[in-house]
């Protein structure tokens, strides 16, 4: 079975807690993703910021995205796996926590992200369908 390192998308870009939501939104658009990790000093993971966070917590609440800091929107820690974990562990984590993405750590260093799309490309449609189904159950 493949490892998280073999399935992940490497080169994850982090935002700092003090970066504005406007900067984060521009970064999301520039690199074409829906979420960014928030990393503090020495690259330590602080949380995750999603495009949905920006829409619901800033835009819909009529806050100024250039005045809100990315770190203000972070709630709890994202789900993480170790780079050497096998894909079964990744699938279990996604299903258990009902998340569409997990961050990959090598020791304490953030080295990648695994999304549902990464799973679908690497492990086959049936496993990806099962994970997607389990995640979607929490949204009903």
Q: What are the pLDDT digits (tens) for 81-114? A: 999 999 989 999 999 998 989 999 999 889 999 9
- Angstrom CA distances, 5 to 13, 86, 93, stand at 16, 9, 15
Give the tens place of pLDDT for each residue, 24-39. 999 999 999 999 999 9
pTM across the whole model: 0.83
Burial class (CB in 10 A: 0-12, 13-18, 19+), 98: middle
Domains of the chain: 4-137 (3.10.580.10)
| Alpha-carbon torsion (70, 72, 73, 78), positive or negative | positive
Q: What is the model's pLDDT at position 102?
A: 95
CA distance 6 to 68: 36
């Amino acid at each position: 079975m493949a490892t998280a390192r073999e399935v992940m998308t490497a080169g994850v870009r982090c935002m700092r807690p003090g970066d504005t939501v406007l900067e984060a939104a521009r970064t999301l658009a520039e690199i074409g993703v829906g979420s960014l990790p928030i990393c503090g000093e020495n690259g330590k993971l602080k949380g995750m910021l999603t495009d949905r966070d920006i829409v619901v917590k800033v835009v819909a609440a009529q806050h100024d995205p250039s005045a809100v800091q990315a770190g203000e929107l972070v709630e709890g820690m994202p789900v993480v796996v170790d780079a050497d974990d096998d894909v079964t562990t990744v699938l279990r984590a996604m299903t258990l926590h009902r998340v569409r993405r997990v961050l990959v750590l090598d020791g304490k260093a953030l080295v990648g992200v695994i999304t549902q799309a990464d799973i679908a490309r690497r492990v086959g449609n049936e496993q990806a369908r099962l994970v997607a189904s389990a995640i979607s159950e929490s949204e009903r």
